[in-house]
Amino acid sequence: MSLSPVVIVGAGHAGVQAATSLREEGFDGEIVLLSAEKYPPYQRPPLSKAFLKGEMDIHGLPLRAEAHFREQRIDLRLGVAATRIDRQAQQVELSDGGAIGYGHLILATGARQRRLDAPGVDLPGVFALRDIADATAIRERLQAKPRIVIIGAGFIGLEIAATAASLGAETTIVEIARPMGRAVSPILSDLYLKEHRAFGARFRLGVGVAAIKGREHAEAVVLTNGEVLPADMVVVGIGVVAEDALARAAGLECDNGIVVDEHLVTSDPAISAIGDCAHFPHAALGFRTRLESVQNAVDQGKAVAARLAGKPKPYDELAWFWSDQGDLKLMIAGLSHGVDKWVVRGDPATRAFSTFGFRDGKLAVVESVNRAGDHAAAKRIIGTTKMLTPEEAADPAFDLRGLAKR
């Protein structure tokens, strides 16, 4: 049965990679890449980093030059959303009134901001950060050195906080648990709390948001303990949820994202799902997860293209991630899920160190702050047969690079 046309819904990191890799794998059929956004496909990470700081403009964001899509015969349709999947007819209905048949459909619909459940969340002056329009609006507002309240101390909230503080905004971060609590070790969480205070931010920890108040725009955030934080602007960064509405409406199995098997195939064999929207079993880790990272989106884009080109392999790529906050460059290799022992390599006081997390005696994750060498080594050790003990990891004299190269 012919796979052509391959229709890809979503032109983020995952969708663009899938289209590109299909050509690299020799797929010669038709490729249609649908994007609900009007901008040429772009990188999201700079939106909370260089772009927000004003160190990069819109021209630095594109994922690929426009010529790439033409040359690779990728039919990129900007501002055209898929509105319905007719699985029986193998057809996708489009927001421009048209429809397109598919041989194989790839859902790369990403994620959307989790909505804060509090009165006042729709007031002008309340922002979330997911796309270029959001980043542009926040960037413009920051120029006035506002009183900004950031709700959520995850990666994005803290990246915005570091930039806001550096631009002279009076910055307060509200967090119900601990900074980056879902993703990093307590050691790292504590360090970042201290560093952000040094950058100039104030924290309200262990408390939630009861309401956002204001007449015509946001003027204050009311906390669950009754405290009122005056604000000129509010940014909500409490995580994302998978964009799986299209899949759900089509009757595909969904549970914290679109459920796929180890080959990234959904409950319908003619449909795959990749990137932020996919809930997948990690072949090497042995558990199901949904990841929100460029690495995952890109590697799953490559994996689905390889499978469609007749080279199937269970998805087992090492997860890695980065986050820039002020002058702290954090890089994470592996996942902290189930880690039962942490050790530190280097001295956190020098602001250049790594934490090594072990699961059942095996290295599972390395978090490196301003230590790119440890990150590079970790990527070559985690998930391999190379054995590293916690004692060796914590010993600065131990030759980590040597082990990685072996």
Ligand X SMILES: Cc1cc2nc3c(=O)[nH]c(=O)nc-3n(C[C@H](O)[C@H](O)[C@H](O)COP(=O)(O)OP(=O)(O)OC[C@H]3O[C@@H](n4cnc5c(N)ncnc54)[C@H](O)[C@@H]3O)c2cc1C
* Nearest distance from C-beta of residue 128 to ligand X, angstroms: 9
Residue 297 binding ligand X, by CB under 6 A: yes
Nearer to ligand X, 165 or 393 (CB): 165
* Nearest distance from C-beta of residue 321 to ligand X, angstroms: 5
* Nearest distance from C-beta of residue 107 to ligand X, angstroms: 8
Residue 9 binding ligand X, by CB under 6 A: yes
In the block, which residue shows the tokens 């193998």?
90
Candidates 6-14, 214-222, 265-273, 279-287: pick the segment binding ligand X (CB under 6 A).
6-14
> How is residue 299 written in tokens?
């590697």
Q: Binding marks (x or -) toward ligand X, 122..141, rule CB under 6 A? A: -------xx-----------
Surface-to-core class of residue 143, CB atoms within 10 Å of its CB (0-12 exposed, 13-18 middle, 19+ buried): exposed
Among 8, 12, 162, 179, contact with ligand X (rule: CB under 6 A): 12
Nearer to ligand X, 50 or 207 (CB): 50
Nearer to ligand X, 156 or 174 (CB): 156
Phi, psi dihedral angles at 170 (to 5 degrees): -80, 110
- Where b means 16+ CB within 10 Å and e means fewer, 373-403 reads ebbebbbbbbbbeeebeeebbbeeeeebeeb
3-class secondary-structure state, position 60: helix
Do strands 111-113 and 240-242 pair parallel, antiparallel, or not at all (unpaired)? antiparallel
With residues binned 3-state (H G I as helix, E B as strand, rest as coil), the percentages for the chain, rounded to 5, are: 30, 30, 40
Amino acid, single-letter form, for residue 217: H
Q: Give the chain's largest Cα–Cα span.
A: 65
* Nearest distance from C-beta of residue 146 to ligand X, angstroms: 19
Nearer to ligand X, 297 or 377 (CB): 297
* Nearest distance from C-beta of residue 14 to ligand X, angstroms: 3
Surface-to-core class of residue 65, CB atoms within 10 Å of its CB (0-12 exposed, 13-18 middle, 19+ buried): exposed
Show Cβ contacts of residue 259 under 8 Å, excluding neighbours closer than 6 positions.
Answer: 252, 253, 266, 267, 279
Q: Write out the DSSP string of 181-223.
A: TTTS-HHHHHHHHHHHHHHT-EEEES--EEEEE-SSS--EEEE
By CB under 6 A, the residues from 177 to 206 that bind ligand X are none
Residue 106 binding ligand X, by CB under 6 A: no
Residues 151, 158: Cα–Cα separation, whole Å: 10
* Nearest distance from C-beta of residue 322 to ligand X, angstroms: 5
Among 8, 13, 157, 330, contact with ligand X (rule: CB under 6 A): 13
State yes or no: cis peptide before 46, omega within 30 of 0.
no
Identify the CA nearest to 231 among candidates 192, 174, 269, 189: 174
Identify the CA nearest to 334 among candidates 185, 191, 193, 186: 185
* Nearest distance from C-beta of residue 391 to ligand X, angstroms: 31
Among 19, 108, 165, 167, contact with ligand X (rule: CB under 6 A): 108
Say how many residues touch ligand X, by CB under 6 A. 36
Nearer to ligand X, 109 or 368 (CB): 109
By CB under 6 A, the residues from 255 to 294 that bind ligand X are 275-276, 292-294
Q: Binding marks (x or -) toward ligand X, 18..57, rule CB under 6 A? A: ----------------xxxx------xx-xx---------
Residue 110 binding ligand X, by CB under 6 A: yes
* Nearest distance from C-beta of residue 379 to ligand X, angstroms: 14
CA dihedral 124, 122, 132, 240 (to 10 degrees): 150
Q: Binding marks (x or -) toward ligand X, 231..250, rule CB under 6 A? A: ------------x--x----
Among 6, 82, 100, 305, contact with ligand X (rule: CB under 6 A): 82
* Nearest distance from C-beta of residue 315 to ligand X, angstroms: 14
Residues 136, 130: Cα–Cα separation, whole Å: 11
* Nearest distance from C-beta of residue 347 to ligand X, angstroms: 25
Q: Binding marks (x or -) toward ligand X, 138..177, rule CB under 6 A? A: ------------------x---------------------
By CB under 6 A, the residues from 341 to 400 that bind ligand X are none
Contact by Cβ (8 Å): 10, 35: yes
Residues 354, 393: Cα–Cα separation, whole Å: 9
Binding site for ligand X (CB under 6 A): 9-15, 34-37, 44-45, 47-48, 81-82, 108-111, 129-130, 156, 243, 246, 275-276, 292-295, 297, 321-323
